Chain A
């Protein structure tokens, strides 16, 4: 596998040229299983591991604050689950880069102008619908299916991470 992309990102990271998305990609890459990280890149693991949001306050903190400001104690603020606490806070593009392939992360520059389709013969495309609103509904449903699919794939990924964590405990 070609790690030149990651190496380039690392160089840019230290030159302070990376975007948040790119930094998230580095974090995601270096917090996967150690065996997945090639030897020559392993020294960087602690650097990016140090960036995980690790420390948290307990639920009792919420109760104390709410009591102090005179609010009801039974309703609590959203608490951070174990999965969220020990997983990096994944931003969309980085998650998706992992869900699809790391190779997709090559597309970091947002392509401007006309959408591409390269060598596909669009002239041969025959629309199923004449009514744009019908076509829209179909496309919307399809994109929804994809969105939910991403979420499922990410969930599956995080469950794997969680079980790995509980094995280590």
Chain B
């Protein structure tokens, strides 16, 4: 009886990790790679914190997020992240990538079974500063969300 219940529990626990988690698992032995986690509970608090600046693009964008994970390491990890994405080709949809003298960036998204985009990944390498960042967001990654971020550019 217990075995059956346990099996059922395992079956229901078939959750998929977000990209950041996959990457951190890959780098589990490497202490130079760090991950910041913002859970859904915390995310809700962030929105309430800035309710007065509701017109701000950032606050609006945060309102659509369920979670955020930010991974940092040295620039050489950019390639590792790209390779991890490639190994999960069917899961992640590639967007444009760009390269300037000082930096490199690439975007990816993941859809759920209903066809909604629920996960957003940005890989970024600051070549000059030897910094690598993964911005991994989950939530309502729809056109409105992207709009908020697009309108927020600083240059």
CA of A142 to CA of B138 in the docked complex: distance in angstroms? Answer: 13
CA of A116 to CA of B138 in the docked complex: distance in angstroms? Answer: 8
Kindly list the 8 A-B residue pairs having the minimum CB-CB distance in the complex, ordered from nearest: A121-B15, A100-B95, A115-B139, A125-B39, A117-B66, A96-B146, A118-B112, A151-B153
- Known A-B contacts: A146-B122, A148-B155. Give 10 more (CB < 8 A): A100-B93, A100-B95, A100-B109, A101-B109, A117-B67, A121-B15, A125-B40, A132-B49, A136-B46, A136-B49
SS of A interface (majority): helix
Residue of A whose beta carbon sits closest to that of B150: A92
SS of B interface (majority): mixed
Residues in A neighbouring B75, C-beta threshold 8 A: none
Residues in chain A within 8 A of chain B (CB atoms): 21, 92-93, 95-101, 103-111, 115-122, 124-129, 132-133, 135-136, 138-140, 142-153, 155-157
Number of A-B residue pairs, CB cutoff 8 Å, is 198
Q: Are B140 and A127 in contact (CB under 8 A)?
A: no
Interface size on B, residues (CB 8 A): 72
> Of the candidates A122, A129, A143, which one forms a contact with B152 in the assembled complex, judged by CB atoms under 8 Å apart?
A143
Residues in chain B within 8 A of chain A (CB atoms): 13-18, 35-43, 45-46, 49-50, 57-58, 61-68, 70, 93-100, 103, 105, 107, 109, 111-113, 115-120, 122, 124, 133, 135, 137-144, 146-147, 149-155
CA of A135 to CA of B49 in the docked complex: distance in angstroms? Answer: 11
Q: Are A139 and B98 in contact (CB under 8 A)?
A: no
Q: Are A96 and B147 in contact (CB under 8 A)?
A: yes
Residues in A neighbouring B109, C-beta threshold 8 A: 100-101, 104
Residue of A whose beta carbon sits closest to that of B16: A119
